[in-house]
Amino acid sequence: MTSTEQASKSGAQAAPPDHLGHVIFIAAAAAMGGFLFGYDSSVINGAVEAIRGRYDIGSAALAQVIAVALIGCAIGAATAGRIADRIGRIRCMQISAVLFTISAVGSALPFALYDLAFWRIVGGFAIGMASVIGPAYIAEVAPPAYRGRLGSFQQAAIVIGIAVSQLVNWGLLNAAGGDQRGKLMGLEAWQVMLGVMVIPAVLYGLLSFAIPESPRFLISVGRHERAREILEEVEGDRIDLDARVAEIENAMKSEHKSTFKDLLGGSFFFKPIVWIGIGLSVFQQFVGINVAFYYSSTLWQSVGVDPTDSFLYSFTTSIINIVGTVIAMIFVDRVGRRPLALIGSVGMVIGLALEAWAFSFDLVDGKLPAAQGWTALIAAHVFVLFFALSWGVVVWVFLGEMFPNRIRAAALGVAASAQWIANWAITASFPSLADWNLSATYVIYTVFAALSIPFVLKYVKETKGKALEEMG
């Protein structure tokens, strides 16, 4: 057996049980950025109609205020990789935590509409950073045998953040008498909803001081002894630490700091592997998943559901999101990433198609007919379930694993940036598209869900069980 094979074998060992609990804590702490990502992304759902009323704006302007955070997300995602390569993954998390905190305070106390938009951009930049650093860091510290499940912590944290934001919004709405602009603690209810994010933002910052730096980053800056200590922490002392360090170091010897230039090549500007990452990100968003979290209460109100009930339906959707994510966490390392993606695509097509059919009927006394109303509600939950057990998790796992070491940080940044741009396109267009034809809007999402199937079959390779140094 060659030294390279020995090193690869050493890296593929599962963490012994006595170390696994510590690894889980590290991954969970890093995934707190994902919690904030989900919370900050979804909390605006509770403020949409209040912002419309307070600033007296139409659907198009409202959509831009809601979606403007995604521009910050794209910038944060595009720059996070380079920042992380220069100052480390932990410092990047701490910067993100500070920005989340500032954004929460500013969004809760806006002077005007432009002021609110600015603080949402700041929060978006923090989300973008967290979306890159979380999966990259977890992939770098997790033992290969557990990497899929630990990598799925990021999405689990996102969906828990979404659910908690909806629960908090529902509780605050009830406390304010069912009025988003009702008074709470001297502010309007929607302002309190946005300001509560200070609590998890501060917690994220504190947790970042309790977890170690990535061993791959430490080796890249010459801190080999500290890297050995952390590898022993996360992979156990039963592995050959010298071989493990040598494996990572050898993989890095032919590398330099990943830059945008490294991604160029092939027939269409980027290397093919980068386009595949971009494709995964775009399909994840173009099925319209974030419509369910940014506009769900507004959507249900538009088809005749009582405002308080609409918040409750938003919360139940978030619970289904968590259930689907748990299913994915259980199976992502058992059945693989590609099979889950394909199963999810088929389920999403069915759910979205049923929603499109239900919304094609005219309202009666301001409500959908009973059969169509129940179909729309059930289909929405089916769609979210199949998204959560597949694309919601596997895309983040893929993006943390699929790129070669020499371009991983930069490629992940570009793919995540593409995800935010796609998210912005869907979020900014939905209110106007819904005003035009809600059923046709869901037909568009159905088409993208269907197209994701041949995309996965033709272009996406399985990464289950492979060491990061094997990706090519």
Q: Residue 264's beta-bridge partner residues?
A: 270
User: DSSP assignment of 199-264, as one string?
Assistant: HHHHHHHHHTTSSPPPHHHHHHTT-HHHHHHHHHHHH-TTS-HHHHHHHHHHHHHT-----GGGGE
Task: State percent of the chain over pLDDT 70.
Answer: 86
- Contact indicator for 146, 20 with CB cutoff of 8 Å: yes
Distance CA 27, CA 377 (A): 34
Q: Please give the mean pLDDT across all residues of the chain.
A: 82
| pLDDT value at residue 7 | 41
Q: What confidence tens digit (pLDDT) does each residue in 113-124 have?
A: 888 889 999 998
| Per-residue pLDDT tens digits for 13-67 | 444 546 777 888 888 899 998 898 888 878 887 787 788 888 888 777 877 887 8
The tally of CA atoms less than 13 A away on the side-chain side of residue 336 is 11
Residue 268: pLDDT over 70: no
Select the more confidently predicted residue: 425 or 472. 425
How far is residue 262 from each of residues 140, 253, 265, 340, 471, measured CA to CA in Å? 20, 16, 8, 31, 16
Which tokens hold the place of 38?
Answer: 């989900």
Tokens describing residue 389: 């057990």
Has residue 194 got a pLDDT over 70? Answer: yes
Distance (Å, whole) CA 31 – CA 92: 13
